[in-house]
Structure formats: C-alpha cells, structure tokens
C-alpha cells in the first residue's frame, strides 16, 4: 500500500522542476528564459578567446549559465566547470546533506524522532550547442508536510531510482528546444528536492502535483514570454497519456505571472508509491505570481484540481481540491536590508497554505486529502544560513486539519487533527 493510502494522509512524495518549468521565483524566471533560449545559455557558457600574446594572460571563462536543477535562491553555489574537449564545457554540481526530524502525532509507520541522509546527488550539465543534456543521479528523500517521512534508502527506489532525472535537449535555435527523457514537471510552484526550495519540506498543495515524468517537451522563449508543452506519463505511470502546459510572462524585472496546467487524457489504473491512483487521473491548474522587492521575495499562488468519477476504481463521484499558498523570503544579507539588521548569509523563508477537498464518502467520492470533503492548512518557517558552499537550515512546521474522516488524519489512531514538525538540515553544495 503506498504511503498516501495509509490512514494518516494523502499521497505522494514527488517532484522537480528545472528552470524551463518551475520558473516562479524571480531568479528562476530569468534562468528559465536562459535555459529555454539555447542561444542565451550558449552565450553564457561560451569560453572567451585567449589573448594571442603569451605575455598577456587568458581571460577568465564566462560565468556558468543558469543550470538545472532549479533552486529558489535561498541556497546557491556555482557549479564546477570542466573542459570536455569536443563536447565543450561541462558543468558539475551536487549536494550532500543530512536531516534530523521530530514530530508530534506520528503515524504508526512513521517515527517521532529520526535522522537520515537527505541528499547525496550529483548533477552534470552540457548547456550549449545543438545537443545538450542534463543528468541528476544519487540518493534522496523527499520530505513533505502532512505525510509520513520515507527514508532515503526506501524513497530512492520507490520513486525515481538513483537516476532521478536525465534528458537530452535539442536546441536548433536561440528560442526553440525539445527535451526527451525523465523530465521535471511543468506543474506547480515548488520543486522536488529539499535543497531546491525555500523550505526543507514540500507543502500541502505540492502533495497534489506530479514531480518527475517521462516524456517529450517542447519549449519556446521570446523576450519576456516562456512557453512549454509536454506529452508525458504524469505521475511516473509509464502510460503516456498526460498533457502539460506552462506559460510564464515577465511583466518587468520584478514581477512575473505564470500559469500551468496538466491532466490525464484517459483513465489509467497504475497505483504505486510514485503514482497515486486518483491524482494520476486528475486535471490540475496553477496560477502563480512572483514579485521581488528589495530584500523580499513574494510568491502567492492558487491551485485547483479535479478527479472525475472513476467507478472502475471505486470512486463513484467526482471530487476536487482548491487552495492557495503564499511563499515569502527575506534576505538579511541584501543591500536593501537596514544596516542594523544585516546578517550576510541569513535568510528567513515563510510558507502559509490552505487546501480543501470536495465530495463525500457516502456518495463514493475519492479521498484526496484526509478523507472526502476534508481540509487542511499549514505554516512553515525555515531560518537558513549559508557560508560559501556549506549551509544549515532549521524548520518549524504546523499542519491543522478539519472535517477529516475517521482514521484518516494524524497519530496512531489517525484521529488527531494536527501535527507539529521540527527539522534540521545540514549540507554542502558542490
């Protein structure tokens, strides 16, 4: 039985979005255009020509282009650059991190206290020329609010395997590219892995979204507009019946609006840890706004999902979820921070969420949250400090629920209506 079908939760543990998809933190919006616009990426990646005279030193290579995996901006480090001869420059990055966790009202299959390896991953990028590629390999856990924690040794094989993502990218022009392989999803506002996001844990709305899908994706970027469309296998189902779409428009250097949508074009019966049955048969829509202002980054968004009636899978009534979230972060090292408050390397992200589901158990609606018709809300604080390539983050999160089904919430009996969770992540970025 997959994690989110146990009596104490929802579903899932998934997701990643490279810069060509999850482009909603402003730094990622700019990066998206670079990654999708191969010419821009190539220009950033191209080596400068050395001076011909021996007495004059060669110029320093240009900085690396914006590279996947996408990072929200609270953590960052320049990748290592290697000359691969005829292949051109390759960029290598990675992350090694450990997690500690304490929580109240743990599920029977979970623990009140535990420590684990959070990430041991390496990323390799070729980001210029007609033929490009990205490979992400290693081990990982995917902590998420409101669901039991799945340890790295179990999460990696249960979700996407040691090769979490990898794709070939053909970029014949500056504005057009095609990607084929294991792709980060176009859906949602948060990425899959802990190091990519403002917060260590993914949020309640993220629990309704897919993460990694296999398929083909077409990208087009011109000026402030970025468009992507994909045919893929949704929640990693191996059934290529999902269609996804993203449109992002930069109003100016500080404000961006993004719309993304996806859905299954037919009913599929796959059910596994990576493929929650009902979510894999849904339609999902997100509208996301991002603003940067001095030391602040704000990202409110709304989400709607709909699962049709699936009598062949025991759901005789359709059901939906609707919700909204606000992600925000304050950078104490920013030049706009008052001198008395300036603390280089320190940032304070905050996330607030609300989500509700429709339907009733009596009518045979599917369980999309904590029972048909249930609702939930959360608040998460994640003080973050980074010094060069080392980082540490503490996190406090609260989840509350309402209208839950018997046995479908928190605690050993599934009848507790809230959960408090504290986490600590310490790591190193390559």
So what's the pLDDT on residue 5? 37
So what's the pLDDT on residue 63? 62
Q: What percent of the chain has pLDDT over 90?
A: 83
Return the CA Rg of the chain: 21
Q: pLDDT tens digits for 157-166?
A: 999 999 999 9
Q: pLDDT tens digits for 38-94?
A: 333 333 333 333 334 444 444 455 666 779 999 998 999 999 999 999 899 999 999
Q: pLDDT tens digits for 205-252?
A: 999 999 999 999 999 999 999 999 999 999 999 999 999 999 999 999
Distance between start and end Cα atoms, the chain: 37
Residue 27 pLDDT greater than 90, yes or no: no
So what's the pLDDT on residue 12? 36
Is 238 buried (19+), middle (13-18) or exposed (0-12) by CB count in 10 A? exposed
Average pLDDT over the chain reads: 88
Q: What percent of the chain has pLDDT over 70?
A: 85
Distance CA 341, CA 255 (A): 26
Flag the least confident range among 74-78, 114-118, 132-136, 371-375: 74-78
Coil, strand, or helix at residue 36?
A: helix
So what's the pLDDT on residue 348? 98
So what's the pLDDT on residue 64? 62
Tell me the sheet residues that pair with 167: 134, 181
- The alpha carbon of residue 202 and the mean position of all alpha carbons in its chain are separated, in whole angstroms, by 8
Average of pLDDT values for 11-37?
Answer: 38
Distances (CA, A) of 224 to 198, 199, 419: 24, 28, 42
What's the angle, vertex CA 351, arms to CA 346 and CA 357, rounded to 5?
165
So what's the pLDDT on residue 212? 97
Distance CA 144, CA 105 (A): 15
To the question of pTM greater than 0.75 for the whole model, the response is: yes
Average of pLDDT values for 174-192?
Answer: 97
Distance CA 257, CA 262 (A): 17
Confidence of residue 111 (pLDDT cuts 50, 70, 90): very high
- The alpha carbon of residue 377 and the mean position of all alpha carbons in its chain are separated, in whole angstroms, by 19
Q: pLDDT tens digits for 167-181?
A: 999 999 989 999 999
So what's the pLDDT on residue 45? 34
So what's the pLDDT on residue 61? 54
Place of tokens 């909204």: 324
Where do the domains of the chain lie, and which CATH numbers do they carry?
3-45+64-429 (2.40.160.10)
């Amino acid at each position: 039985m997959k994690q989110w079908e146990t009596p104490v939760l929802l579903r899932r543990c998934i997701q990643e979005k490279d810069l060509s998809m999850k482009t909603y933190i402003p730094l990622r919006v700019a990066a998206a255009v670079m990654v999708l616009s191969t010419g821009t990426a190539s220009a950033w990646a191209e080596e400068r020509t050395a001076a011909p005279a021996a007495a004059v030193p060669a110029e320093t290579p240009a900085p690396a282009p914006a590279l996947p995996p996408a990072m929200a901006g609270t953590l960052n480090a320049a990748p290592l650059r290697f000359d691969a001869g005829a292949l051109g420059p390759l960029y290598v990055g990675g992350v090694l991190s450990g997690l500690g966790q304490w929580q109240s009202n743990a599920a029977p299959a979970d623990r009140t206290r535990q420590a684990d390896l959070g990430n041991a991953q390496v990323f390799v990028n070729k980001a210029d020329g007609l033929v490009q590629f990205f490979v992400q390999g290693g081990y990982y856990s995917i902590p998420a609010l409101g669901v039991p924690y799945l340890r790295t040794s179990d999460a990696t094989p249960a979700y996407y395997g040691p090769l979490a993502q990898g794709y070939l990218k053909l970029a014949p022009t500056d504005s057009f590219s095609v990607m084929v392989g294991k792709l980060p999803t176009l859906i949602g506002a948060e990425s899959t892995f802990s190091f990519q996001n403002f917060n260590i844990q993914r949020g309640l709305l993220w629990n309704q979204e897919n993460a990694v899908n296999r398929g083909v994706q077409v990208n087009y970027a011109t000026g402030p507009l970025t468009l992507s469309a994909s045919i893929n296998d949704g929640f990693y189902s191996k059934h290529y019946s999902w269609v996804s779409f993203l449109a992002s428009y930069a109003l100016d250097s500080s404000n961006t609006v993004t719309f993304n949508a996806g859905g299954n074009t037919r009913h599929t019966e796959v059910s596994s840890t990576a493929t929650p049955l009902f979510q894999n048969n849904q339609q999902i829509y997100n509208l996301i706004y991002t603003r940067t202002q001095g030391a602040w980054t704000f990202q409110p968004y709304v989400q709607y999902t709909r699962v049709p009636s699936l009598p062949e899978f025991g759901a005789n009534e359709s059901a939906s979820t609707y919700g909204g979230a606000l992600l925000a972060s304050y950078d104490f090292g920013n030049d706009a921070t008052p001198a008395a408050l300036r603390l280089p390397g320190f940032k304070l992200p905050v996330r607030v969420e609300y989500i509700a589901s429709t339907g009733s158990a009596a009518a045979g609606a599917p369980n999309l949250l904590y029972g048909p018709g249930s609702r939930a809300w959360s608040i998460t604080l994640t003080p973050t400090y980074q010094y060069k390539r080392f980082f540490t983050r503490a996190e406090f999160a609260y989840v509350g629920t309402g209208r839950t089904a018997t046995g479908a919430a928190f605690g050993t009996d599934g009848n507790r209506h809230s959960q408090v969770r504290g986490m600590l992540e310490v790591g190193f970025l390559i």
